Amino acid sequence: MTTGSAYLDHAATTPMSPAALAAFVAEAGRTGNASSLHSAGRAARRSVEEARESLAAALGARPSEVLFTAGGTEADNLAIKGVFWGRRRTDPRRTRILVSAVEHHAVLDPAFWLAGHAGAEITLLPVDGEGRLDLAALRAELAAHADEVALVSVMWANNEVGTVQPVRDVVRLAHQHGIPVHTDAVQAVGQVEVDFAASGVDALTVTGHKLGGPLGVGALLARRDLPLEAVLHGGGQERGVRSGTLDAPAIRAFAVAVADAVDQQPERAVALAALRDALVAGVRRADPEAVLRGPEPRADGGAGGAPARLPGNAHFTFPGTEGDSLLYLLDSAGVQASTGSACQAGVPQPSHVLLAMGVPELDARGALRFTLGATSTRDDVDALLAALGQVVERARAAGLVSGPALAGGGS
């Protein structure tokens, strides 16, 4: 992070926690392949298996249900492709995949790849104006096509607008027809309570760099009886469905980060929500035309006591502006945020999430996502609010043209 800057893009990547970094460095100083049988290999394997047990305990799973991957994208691909192929192998009628229209591209793209290469039929389930899944639409799809559905995938919480989805209701509806459910919980772990067993989902994605762990490591939690075909082939590691040499240093640090994030989640959520509410109120003062997207923060925590949106997420559209222009102007002022939308081939595209929520395309182009994490402070929020008014004014007055596409950006 640049010295003196305000970092408000924790949903893309958040800093490694001191404990995770220390674990990573300690493990990286050792030699050993976890698949080797000599003493160094056994030591690496022991580190991996202790990490597996720790991660499982933190997320309400059994150790045998934890499959380590190289991150959230790989875990999502393994879930979507692996379950689709696994279900079709025993029942060729299972050609349909139901996914919410606001999923991350790590879910949408493999689903549509299967449509183009493996005969899958994709149904995008609609959401309401706050980005919440339309359960009636899911119920109708299941009633009409249950015998053809291979799986349902609905994220635990949206990476752009922060909406927490009714995952347990999705599970209840799908399981009435014997259909497995996958959820991408990449943004949720560490911000809201996530329990694999209690939720009833059949597969769950989590990754390290969103919660204080290293880049390049994640996991798919998958029930042992879930039909799951391998996507990577080779040495047969991870129950034979995810071949590849296990990255013991990253896995150990990942498990430490998950345990810490889950342990600190109740207190951290309260602190993040207070910062977020101050940010939301300040943005509205700085620009009364700004529109908060996603659910309004609610003191009662939403229906059933569950939060309506992630505590560290505030997503706005600023009418009459381009999001990438706002981003560059803020960056010049020392404030780092995200547009929350994809940029393809150098041409900024409106967010598919906002469009699915019914936001007009012109408004969707003026989006900014501000996300908070463990290292966020009131100074970060104040730096944003001090710069925002002038930035929005300049963007509107000049009608700035979008700059070159940003590389990456994460989920």
Distance CA 159, CA 167 (A): 15
Q: Please, which residues have CB within 8 angstroms of residue 157's CB and are 6 or more apart in sequence?
A: 163, 164, 165, 185, 187, 188, 191, 192, 309, 310
**Residue 127 CB: number of other CB atoms within 10 A?**
23
What are phi and psi for residue 183, nearest 5 degrees?
-130, 135
Q: What is the DSSP string of 56-108?
A: HHHHT--GGGEEEESSHHHHHHHHHHHHHHHHHHH-TT--EEEEETT--HHHH
Q: What is the DSSP string of 262-287?
A: HHHHHHHHHHHHHHHHHHHHHHHHH-
Of 203, 251, 252, 210, which Cα lies nearest the Cα of 231? 203
The label of the residue with tokens 């390290």 reads: 208
How does 296-318 read in b/e, with b if 16+ C-beta sit within 10 Å? ebeeeeeeeeebbbbbbbbbbbb
What value, to the nearest 5°, has the Cα angle with vertex 411 and ends 371 and 288? 40
The alpha-carbon radius of gyration of the chain (Å, integer) is 21
Q: Which residues does the annotation mark as catalytic?
A: 343
Amino acid, single-letter form, for residue 175:
H
How does 167-205 read in b/e, with b if 16+ C-beta sit within 10 Å? beebbebbeeeebbbbbbbbbbbbbbebebeebebbbbb
DSSP single-letter state for residue 400:
P
